[in-house]
Structure 1
Amino acid sequence: MSEAPKPAETKTDKTPLLDVNGEPMHWLVRPTTIKLLWLGGIALLAFVTWLGTTVHPHVKFGIEGTLGFYSWYGFATCVAMVIFAKLLGVGLSKKDTYYDK
């Protein structure tokens, strides 16, 4: 006679995720928290962009009235600042042997 399949065992005590030092991970660096923060940020961005379609903008420049202007303008500005910082770092960096002279 064959045995009936055993139900899957469930753990009631969750062991915390550990970092490389064996200590519990901070809640902000856990994979589930990071995923929830990404989803929340995307939802907030979508909500704010939708909200921009419901409010009449008082624009001073023509481009300011486009759909999601503040969303894509903020993103483009952030990308431009990162690129500028990288180029500035290349221009200001010294060789590894600079202080050996």
Structure 2
Amino acid sequence: MSDEHNKPGFFEKPENISMILKVFYVICVLLVVADFIVHRHIYHDWENIPAFYAIYGFVGCVILVLIAKVMRKILMREETYYDK
């Protein structure tokens, strides 16, 4: 056996995870700053709200998660469903 198999992967090293998170945060900040710089062609008045699309996307994801939780209660089978 070689040490190649026991070597931790890229995503198992804490310094790589922190670097990826820092890059992610920088990209998020740049996108919010770009929202104030880039001219958008708006069709509705509520699109003038600063960071409207970021808020809209976040609220949409939260709603999807909440709907999925309710659907899980309705659609979930017991653990021994296939063993019967």
Q: TM-score range by the shorter chain?
A: 0.7 to 0.9
Distance 1:77 1:56, change over 3 A: same
How much has 1:95 moved relative to structure 2? Answer: 2.1
Question: What is residue 9 of structure 1 aligned with on the other side?
Answer: none
Q: What is the TM-score when the length of structure 2 is the normalising length?
A: 0.75
Show structure 1 runs of 5+ residues with no match: 1-21
Q: Name the CA shift for 1:100/1:27 in 2 (closer, same or farther; >3 Å).
A: closer
CA contact (8 A) 1:57 1:65 kept: no
Identical-pair percentage = 28
Which aligned runs of 4 or more in structure 1 are off by greater than 6 angstroms?
Answer: none
Between structure 1 and structure 2, the one with the greater Rg is 1
How many positions carry a matched residue from both structures?
80
Q: TM-score, normalised by structure 1?
A: 0.65
**RMSD between aligned residues:** 2.0
